[in-house]
Chains A and B, each alone.
Chain A
Amino acid sequence: MHNAENSRYAKTHEWAHMEGDIATVGISNHAQEEISDIVFVDLPKVGQQVTAGQNCCVIESVKSASEIYAPVSGEVIEVNTALNNDPGLVNREPHAGGWLFKIKMTAPADYEALMDLSAYQTTIQK
C-alpha cells in the first residue's frame, strides 16, 4: 500500500508509487496544504495515454485550478472514483485514500528519475 515514505516525487509535487508496472499517482501533502479546499477533481479517462511531465488532469480548489502533470508515462487503467463525491479526500488523505489514478507504465525508467521523499522535501520552498 502506498504512503509518503514509499512513494517517489516529481518536482511539480505529484507522487507515484510503483507495484510491478503499475504506478499509483497522487499529490503531495505539501501540495494539498498549499492549494487547500479542493472542491473538484477532473480525473483523466481510463484508457487515456499520458506522458511524463505533461498535463493530464485538473484539480480545482476554491482558490485556483491546478493542472496535474503525469509523473510517469503510460496508460491510465483506473481512476479514484471516490473523488467524484468526495474531492476533499485529497486534502484529508493525500498519500492514502486521496490517490488520483493508476498508470500502466510504458517506461519504468521514468519512475527511477523521480525523487525520494527526503530529496523532494529539500525542494519545497518555505
Chain B
Amino acid sequence: MNIYFGGPFVTNDLKTTPLYNACCQAGGRMVDFHGWLLPVQFQSIIAEHKAVREAAGMFDVSHMGQIWVEGKDAYPFVQYITCNNIKKDPSAGTYTHMLTPQGTIIDDMIAFCLDAEKFLIVVNAACRQEDFDWMQKQSTRFHVTVTDASDRYGMIALQGPQALEKLETLLPGIGALPRFHIQKVQLFGEEGYVTRTGYTGEDGAEIMLSPAAIVKLWDALLAAGVAPCGLGARDVLRLEAGYLLNGQDADQTRTPYEAACGWVVKLNKEDFIGKPALEKQKAQGVKQKLTAFELKGAGVPRHGCKIFYEGQEIGFVTSGTFSPLFKGIAVGYAQAGLTPGAQVEIEIHSRRIPAAVTKTPFYKNRV
C-alpha cells in the first residue's frame, strides 16, 4: 500500500507560516499544500472534527491572503471587481466572488469594510498572487491603492461552540462582534483584526496578527485547551457545511451559477466584471451545476469519481469525503435539474455505489 502523503520535505522549496514550528511541536504532520508546508492532521482527523463540532479547535490559516484596498474609490472598486453587493457599513463583511469578463470564478473571498475608503479582502492562499495582480490591473481606472499585506499577518481560525468563550479570556467583549463583522484589536501589544467568520459551519473567529504575535496566540489557545486541527479535518468540516473550495469545486471554467452560488450574484447591482456574461447565462440556464450527494452504500467518494444517472455518465465528483456525521458525502458537477432525492450512482474503485442527490449544507450549521 502507498501510505505517504508527502514528506520528508526540503523546507527550502516550500513556504512556511509563522506557526510552522508551533505546528510541528504540537505533532502536526506537515504536507505540501499549494506550495505551503502545513499540517494535514495532529492527533486524528476524526478527533479534530469532533473537537470543532463539540468544543473548540484552531487551524493555522496564515497562508491565506490579505489584500488592502484603500482610497476614495475603494467601495465602487470592490463593487466593480466582485459580483455580490458589498456592504459598506463599517465593520461589515461580505462573501463574494471575483470573476473574469466571461463570468467565471477567479476566486471567492470576504471583503470587510473598515470604512468607505478602506476594505480588507481575505483571499485563498492558492490564488493570492493572481488575485492581487488582477486587482492591480483593474485598479488603474479608480482612485485606489491595492496592497498585498499577506506577509504582514499570521492567521488562526478558531472554530467551535466554545471558540468565542476561549477568545473572550484574551479579548474581553469579543463575543459581541456580530457574525461576518470585523474588529480591530490589540493583542500581545500589537494591532490586529478579528473577524467572526470561518470555514467549518460552526461559530468562531479568525484572528490576524503579526507573525510574532500569532505564535503567542497559538500558545495561549493551546494552553486554554483548544485542539490544534489540520487541513484534513478542515476539508471534512467545510464540505459538511457546504462551502466551496475554489480551485477544486470551482475555477475559471465555472460561473457562480454553475457552482451553485447564484445567491452571490447580484445582477441588480451596477456594472461589475462578468455581469453581461452572467445575465446571458441566467436567461439561458446552466447545463451543469455543482450538486450534492449522499452515499447510500459503503465507501468514500473522492475527487474524480464518476457520477451516473439512469445508467449514463453525467458528471464527476469535485470534492468527496467520509463525514463522521453523514458517512460518504460529495459534491460534483452533474447535469442541471436533478432534484433532491434523485437516485444516482457514484463509481468508487470500479464499483457503482448508490447515492442520492441532496441539498447543502449537509450539516445544518448553528451559525
Contact = CB atoms under 8 A, between A and B. Distances in A.
Interface of A: 12-14, 27, 30-31, 34-37, 39-40, 42, 58-60, 62-69, 125-126
Nearest to B232: A63
Contact of A62 (B4, B46, B298, B349): B46
Contacts of A34: 3-5
B322 interface: yes
A40 B1 contact: no
Contact of B322 (A12, A35, A62): A62
Contacts of B299: 40, 42, 60
Nearest to A62: B45
9 contacts: A13-B1, A27-B1, A35-B1, A36-B45, A37-B45, A40-B299, A65-B302, A65-B349, A126-B8
A42 B349 contact: yes
Given A37-B46, A39-B300, A40-B322, A62 B232 contact: yes
Given A36-B45, A60-B299, A125 B1 contact: no
A104 B1 CA distance: 21
B200 to A, nearest CB: 15
A100 B41 CA distance: 26
Contacts, number: 60
**Residue among A12, A13, A14, A37 with the highest chain B CB neighbour number at 10 A:** A37
B45 A66 contact: no
Given A14-B1, A39-B322, A62 B8 contact: no
A125 B309 CA distance: 44
B5 A66 contact: no
A34 B1 CA distance: 11
A125 B46 contact: no
Interface in B1-24: 1-5, 8
A68 B1 contact: yes
Contacts of B300: 39-40, 60, 62, 65
Interface of B: 1-5, 8, 40-41, 44-46, 232, 236, 298-300, 302, 321-322, 349
A63 B45 CA distance: 8
B1 A31 contact: yes
The 5 lowest CB-CB distance pairs between A and B, nearest first, are A34-B3, A66-B1, A62-B45, A60-B300, A39-B322
A67 B8 contact: no
A62 B321 contact: yes
Nearest to A14: B1
Contact of B8 (A35, A66, A125): A125
Given A60-B322, A62-B322, A36 B1 contact: no
B44 A67 contact: no
A68 B232 CA distance: 22
B42 to A, nearest CB: 11
A77 B55 CA distance: 46
Contact of A36 (B4, B8, B41, B321): B41
A125 B41 CA distance: 18
Contact of B3 (A37, A39, A66, A126): A66
A63 B302 CA distance: 10
Contacts of B8: 125-126
Nearest to A30: B3
Contacts of A36: 41, 44-45
Contacts of B302: 65
B227 to A, nearest CB: 15
B271 to A, nearest CB: 44
Contacts of B321: 62
Given A37-B44, A37-B45, A59 B1 contact: yes
A36 B27 CA distance: 14
Nearest to B298: A40
Given A36-B41, A67-B2, 14 more contacts: A31-B3, A34-B5, A35-B3, A37-B44, A37-B46, A40-B300, A42-B299, A42-B349, A60-B299, A60-B322, A62-B45, A62-B236, A66-B3, A68-B1
A68 B1 CA distance: 5
A58 B322 contact: no
Contacts of A58: 349
Contacts of B236: 62
